[in-house]
Amino acid sequence: MTREYLGNVKLGSVASMTQKGRWVFLERHHEIAVSSVDAEGVIYCSPVWYTIIDQRIFLPVDQASKHFQNIEDGSKMTGVVFVGGEELCTARGVQIQGQGQLVTDPALRERCLDQLVEKIFGFGHPHKQTYIEYRESFDKNTLELVPDKMITWDLRKTYNLPMYTSRRL
């Protein structure tokens, strides 16, 4: 099929995730690339861990975080969780556009930390206690990324022919 035949087709119309699928995808992963903009218009992007509680996205940030400062100055946030390997036919991800809000409830912050530590380190990991102590000493802030819009893609839905599996990203 040619472009003339198909017209302009958005990838999201043929390869997006369902509402349930996007949350399942987000719950299975723990790394997100988060971007915010400072007062001078410079985009700051960094990879951070995250956790999901009741379809809410929580990010641990330290008090010196540029994202924390940018959010206080009114910046919006965008986060991307991407999984793809090397083959185009397996690329999938979720982009979350929204607002960052500081979590002020100590019980919720503690629950976020506990869930994040369990998800990433599990039982008996040698760095588990070190991370917990670091969070207690320096990194007590938690941001909630409140979605305004989510954009999803799952190329496994479009590339089902064997000839496409050999293409690389």
Q: How far from chain centre, in Å, is Cα 165?
A: 26
Contact call for residues 100 and 60 (beta carbons, < 8 A):
no
Mean pLDDT of 42-67: 90
Mean pLDDT of 79-95: 86
- Averaged pLDDT of the chain: 84
Contact call for residues 96 and 150 (beta carbons, < 8 A):
yes
| Residue 23 confidence (pLDDT) | 96
pLDDT: which is higher, 79 or 62: 79
> What is the model's pTM?
0.81
Mean pLDDT of 82-93: 81
pLDDT: which is higher, 132 or 53: 53
Mean pLDDT of 51-73: 88
The answer to whether residue 2 scores a pLDDT higher than 50 is no
Give the gyration radius of the chain's Cα atoms.
18
The answer to whether residue 150 scores a pLDDT higher than 90 is yes
| Residue 1 confidence (pLDDT) | 46
Contact call for residues 2 and 77 (beta carbons, < 8 A):
no
Contact call for residues 80 and 93 (beta carbons, < 8 A):
yes
Mean pLDDT of 72-97: 89
pLDDT in tens, 97-142: 999 999 999 999 989 988 988 888 888 888 888 888 877 777 678 8
Mean pLDDT of 135-163: 80
The answer to whether residue 163 scores a pLDDT higher than 70 is no
Q: What is the CATH number of domain 11-150?
A: 2.30.110.10
The answer to whether residue 33 scores a pLDDT higher than 60 is yes
Which helix (H) or strand (E) is 132 found in, with range? helix 128-137
Contact call for residues 26 and 165 (beta carbons, < 8 A):
no
124: left (phi over 0), alpha (psi -120 to 50) or beta: left
For the chain, the domains span 11-150
